[in-house]
Amino acid sequence: MTDGNATGHHLRKYAVLFALLLVSLVVETAKIRDAEAYLPDLFRTVLGFAIWLVVFKRSRERIAMAAIVVAVTVLNCARHLYKPPSTCPRPP
């Protein structure tokens, strides 16, 4: 039989995850200007780390998920740092 406090603690952690997911969905669907384009990626990263902390318990699972979260975070940061070349034609 489980302790009521432990069950309540798990429910609160999942409630926080659910709230983060809802905020992420709102941010994703909002019309975001260029200056705030990093906001959806920031919420996705926070959600990924929260899932990593709450859902994955075993060390092997945590290591695999940590590698995925770090890789996705690096890709998202690189996407914001990379400036594609201009599409305007060059003068002769």
In a domain, 20, yes or no: yes
Phi-psi region of 91 (alpha: psi -120 to 50; beta: other; left: phi over 0): beta
For 72, the 3-state DSSP assignment is helix
The whole-model pTM stands at 0.62
pLDDT of residue 1: 46
Residue of 83, 86, 70 lying closest to 34 (CA atoms): 83
pLDDT band of residue 42 (cuts 50, 70, 90) is confident
Residue of 83, 63, 66, 84 lying closest to 74 (CA atoms): 66
In a domain, 8, yes or no: yes
Tell me: the pLDDT tens digits for 55-66? 888 889 889 988
In a domain, 87, yes or no: no
In a domain, 90, yes or no: no
Total domains in the fold of the chain: 1
Tell me: the pLDDT tens digits for 29-39? 776 665 566 77
In a domain, 86, yes or no: no
pLDDT of residue 55: 83
